[in-house]
Amino acid sequence: MTDIEEALRFFSNARFLRMLDSEGRKKLLASAQAVTFTDGQAVVREGEPGDSLYIIVSGIASVVADNFGEEKKVAELSDGSFFGEMAVITDQPRSASVIALGDLSLLKIPKKDVLQILEEYPKVKEVVAKIGLARTEDTMEKILED
């Protein structure tokens, strides 16, 4: 199997990307950049502008949010998960930081390419927006717990 075939297979298994057809996955793959992080490295930081969406190829990432000056873990993401969608869609700063737990391999997709695909696939845009809203609500609930 070629690297492209392997990547397309991965894309077809990654959660929301399953709604894209082969052509849509190829378009995203063409703009995706493979990036890696090591244990403890920040992929994105809360408050930064959202310039990309990320999909986890392998590894685990911790999602942490500021809780009155202290970082609070609000989620853990693994293979096939994506993050960064709300900052890309809404043009708002990132609502949480994402930190590598061990080695982390990602696909980084630039904002302009994500937005173009979402315009071409309105159903995917709707689902991504709903997932992002649910995550934001879940993050707020976890911050307020204690």
Give residue limits of the domains in the chain. 3-144
Where helices occur in 91-121 by DSSP H, the ranges are 111-120
Helix (H, G, I), strand (E, B) or coil at 49: coil
Residue-wise pLDDT for 39-77, tens only, equals 999 999 999 999 999 988 889 999 998 877 888 888 899
Contact between residue 121 and residue 19 where contact means Cβ atoms under 8 Å apart: yes
Name the CATH topology of 3-144: Jelly Rolls (2.60.120)
Using the CB atoms, write b or e for 38-76: b if 16+ within 10 Å. Answer: eeeeebbebeeebebbbbbbebbbbbbbeeeeeebebbe
In order of 19, 25, 27, 143, the CA distances from 22 in angstroms are 10, 5, 9, 39
Distance CA 144, CA 67 (A): 8
Beta strand extents in 1-146 (DSSP E only): 33-37, 42-44, 52-67, 70-77, 82-83, 97-110
Bridge partners of residue 42, in order along the sequence: 99
**Residue written as token pair 């298994």:** 13
pTM: 0.80
* pLDDT score at 124: 80
CA distance 47 to 6: 34
Stretches in the chain below the pLDDT threshold 70: 1-17, 132, 136, 139-140, 143-144, 146
Kindly report each contact of residues 117-122 with a partner whose C-beta sits within 8 Å and lies 24 or more positions away, as own/partner: 117/20, 117/24, 117/27, 117/28, 118/89, 120/24, 121/19, 121/20, 121/24
